[in-house]
């Protein structure tokens, strides 16, 4: 795939510091790489894949430019701890990308879904996001503004098409992602006037480790592809690109938006 710099239009994030959650694989890893290509310094979180995370950090320039931070994300305090670690690493925070999440792949009818599954999914996908956003906003509000941009900060939340149309047998996931859509709009209304921009991307089916189990099943894959007018699932770079764009001055008039990245599967006006 062609890099942004090769197109003749430079989306620069030089002198900016980004925190990307769930950055060791999939959409998160693609986003880490693209932020680094744009010139940003990056802290990213991982849960358990230390070897993979360390290799990605080294690939992106090592401790002066990119650091991997082990952090469980299940409660608000986890999110606050991660923001603090990122600020310790680079001294400030300009961009927060809330990308981590869990999608239990087994079908769980609402009549039999366990309370444990419900609480776990919402804890990881939503409660920790609250802690991340709260701590990031506090940091952005009090730090000196970067001379590279008029914005005090950018927040990008990664939701899902499930947030917009629901998903049978995955009510926990859909509810948690739907809450991120509403959180985006609330944060925009509250923070845009302060120069902190909050937007959201809502991917459809993307070829990642999280979706591999479903997409590797021929029957499921056929059913999924039949719902996508482009006839294929997305590539991680096709999600990472819009995330980077939303943190640049080119998106300076964009606040509270939900970017739908689903190959035409869900059309939301």
The tokens 């970017």 sit on which residue?
A: 259
Active site residue 160: yes
Q: Which of 24, 45, 128, 173 is catalytic?
A: 173
Active site residue 46: no
**Do 261 and 242 form a contact (C-beta atoms < 8 A)?**
yes
Task: Give CA–CA dist 187/91, Å, rounded.
Answer: 24
Q: Which of 160, 176, 188, 255 is catalytic?
A: 160
Residue 19's closest CA among 83, 71, 72?
Answer: 83
In the structure, how many helices (H) and strands (E) does the chain have?
10, 7
CA distances from 8 to 12, 219, 248 (A): 12, 43, 16
Token code pair at residue 130: 């609250």
Q: Which of 81, 152, 177, 211 is catalytic?
A: 177
Active site residue 152: no
Token code pair at residue 117: 């599954």
**Do 156 and 200 form a contact (C-beta atoms < 8 A)?**
yes
Task: Give CA–CA dist 32/22, Å, rounded.
Answer: 10
Could you give the residue numbers annotated as active site?
160, 173, 177
């Amino acid at each position: 795939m062609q890099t942004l710099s090769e197109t003749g239009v430079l989306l620069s994030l030089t002198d900016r510091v980004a925190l990307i959650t769930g950055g060791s694989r999939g959409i998160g890893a693609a986003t880490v790489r693209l932020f680094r290509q744009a010139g940003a310094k990056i802290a990213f979180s991982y849960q358990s894949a230390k070897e993979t995370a360390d290799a990605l950090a080294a690939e992106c320039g090592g401790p002066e430019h990119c650091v991997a931070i082990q952090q469980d994300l299940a409660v608000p305090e986890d999110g606050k701890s991660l923001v603090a670690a990122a600020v310790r690493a680079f001294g400030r925070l300009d961009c927060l990308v809330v990308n981590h999440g869990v999608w239990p792949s087994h079908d769980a009818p609402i009549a039999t879904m366990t309370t444990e599954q419900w609480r776990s999914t919402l804890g990881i996908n939503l409660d920790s996001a609250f802690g991340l956003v709260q701590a990031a906003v506090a940091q952005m509000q009090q730090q000196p503004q970067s001379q590279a941009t008029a914005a005090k900060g950018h927040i990008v939340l990664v939701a899902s098409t499930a947030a917009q149309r629901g998903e049978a047998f995955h009510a926990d996931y859909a509810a948690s992602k739907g809450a991120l859509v509403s959180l985006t709009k609330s944060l925009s209304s509250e923070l845009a006037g302060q120069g902190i921009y909050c937007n959201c991307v809502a991917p459809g089916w993307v070829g990642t480790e999280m979706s591999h189990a479903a997409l590797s099943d021929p029957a499921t894959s056929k059913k999924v592809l039949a719902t996508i007018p482009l006839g294929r699932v997305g590539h991680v770079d096709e999600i990472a690109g819009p995330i980077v764009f939303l943190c640049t001055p080119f998106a300076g008039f964009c606040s509270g938006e939900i970017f739908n990245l689903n190959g035409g599967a869900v059309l939301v006006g």
